[in-house]
């Protein structure tokens, strides 16, 4: 009987502490990472031309911590990490890029993961034109 009373008291104390923290406004959620539309700056938009050297997928702040698709683009000024969109969106649209692809990429310069990052707005590959975001940076691709 003593053990059950002790256990009941411990559970009650934990519930009381959680309730007090909630009343005081403490959040138990992880902070939300900045989204692509929040990071996209139309005034920092540039157009670069290059060749894809690597395709990557990793959890990314631009994709709100979701697995995002990325390209490493070799330009005349060096390598640029290009943030595309959440991987699930590209897969649902059957959009694929591969090393060796020659691309013209328009997007906003930013510092997210590396020193030379670009959040893509539009990519031209030969006669194909992919528009990922509107002029404000909001994703236009549908899931």
Pairing of strands 78-86, 117-125: parallel
Of 98, 100, 99, 103, give the one whose Cα is nearest residue 132: 103
Q: What is the pTM of this model?
A: 0.72
Cβ–Cβ < 8 Å for 72, 81:
yes
| pLDDT per position as a tens digit, 65-117 | 788 899 999 999 999 999 998 888 888 888 899 999 999 999 999 887 667 89
The pLDDT assigned to 131 comes to: 93
pLDDT at 36 over 70: no
d(CA 30, CA 33): 9
Question: The tokens of 71 are what?
Answer: 């390209």
Q: What is the pLDDT of residues 127-138, one digit of tens each?
A: 999 999 998 888
Element (DSSP H or E) covering residue 11: helix 2-23
- Write out 44-112 in H/E/C secondary structure: HEEEEEEEEEEEEEEECHHHCCCEEEEEEEEECCEEEEEEEEEHHHHHHHCCCCCCCCEEEEEEEEECC
In terms of Cα–Cα distance, which of 70, 73, 74 is closest to 55? Answer: 70
């Amino acid at each position: 009987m003593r053990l059950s009373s002790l256990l009941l008291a411990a559970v009650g104390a934990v519930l009381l502490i959680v309730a007090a923290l909630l009343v005081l406004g403490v959040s138990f959620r992880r902070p939300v990472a900045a989204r692509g539309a929040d990071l996209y700056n139309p005034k920092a938009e540039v157009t670069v031309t290059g060749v894809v050297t690597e395709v990557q997928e990793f959890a990314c702040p631009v994709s709100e911590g979701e697995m995002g698709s990325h390209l490493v683009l070799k330009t005349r000024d060096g390598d640029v990490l290009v943030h595309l969109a959440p991987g699930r969106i590209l897969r649902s649209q059957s959009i694929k890029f591969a090393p060796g692809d020659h691309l013209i990429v328009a997007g906003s310069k930013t510092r997210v993961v590396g020193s030379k990052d670009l959040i893509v707005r539009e990519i031209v590959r030969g006669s194909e034109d992919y528009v990922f975001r509107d002029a404000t940076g909001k994703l236009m691709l549908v899931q």
